[in-house]
Amino acid sequence: MHVPDGIVPAWVAITGYAAAGGTTWFSLDRIKRKYENPREMIPTASLLTAVFFVASLIHIPMPPTSVHLVLSGLMGVVLGWYAFPAILIGLFFQAVMFQHGGLTTLGLNACIMGLPALLAFGIFRLRYLRGGDKPGPSMIFGFLAGFSGLVLGALMSSLILILTIPANLDVSVERAAILSLLVAHIPLALLEGVFTALVVLFMLRVKPGLLEAELK
């Protein structure tokens, strides 16, 4: 799902930076308005950023390609409005330390993974319409959050790549490769949905206060 340097036109990369900057500003503004002490979530956000950073290094074979965990849905569920800035920081270190993604496409990648995280945040909040913090509804909406977070990110990256295929490449072949990669993410989306649901159940039993971010 990471878009590397040199793949998209300059105007797309610039638009990605503009969108990421606006979303970061909006997220930080919401944090400032909604939290009495915005710093109280920083340790949790730092921990989840580290998990997000490491997850991209674990590749799962999905012939004819391989995919990796993204955990954008889990980031949204646990961190709420902190999710987008946390993902942006994680992507920056991935690009600098492992050349995973790119610096010119950092804003674009932040939107591809950060916006679905905010959507997952909204989806998980819907659990209060179906039983509050009971395990059943929480696991269902946790699964939906984790699943939709990955699916939306894969759709966004695929659409961007398809619409910006360079003219010197075989468009039909490139589209087939991109669509194959999209299909390969479906099993991973199911896995992330189940994983997110299990994490939600664990947190409800051990420390439900960790899920309070999505109440803000």
pLDDT, tens digit, for every residue of 76-105? 999 999 999 999 999 999 999 888 888 999
Summary mean pLDDT of the chain: 85
pTM: 0.88
**pLDDT reading at 66 higher than 60:** no
Which structural domains are found in the chain, ordered by start? 10-215 (1.10.1760.20)
SS3 (DSSP) at 99:
coil
User: Would you state the pLDDT for residue 58?
Assistant: 74
Separation of alpha carbons 23 and 136, rounded Å:
32
| Residue 137 pLDDT greater than 90, yes or no | no
**Which residues, 6 or more positions from 131, have their beta carbon under 8 angstroms from its beta carbon?**
137, 138
- The tens digit of pLDDT for each residue in 138-190 reads 899 999 999 999 999 988 988 888 888 765 665 676 677 677 777 777 888 99
pLDDT of residue 215: 55
- Asked if pLDDT for residue 118 goes beyond 70, the answer is yes
Read off φ and ψ for residue 59, nearest 5 degrees.
Answer: -95, 135
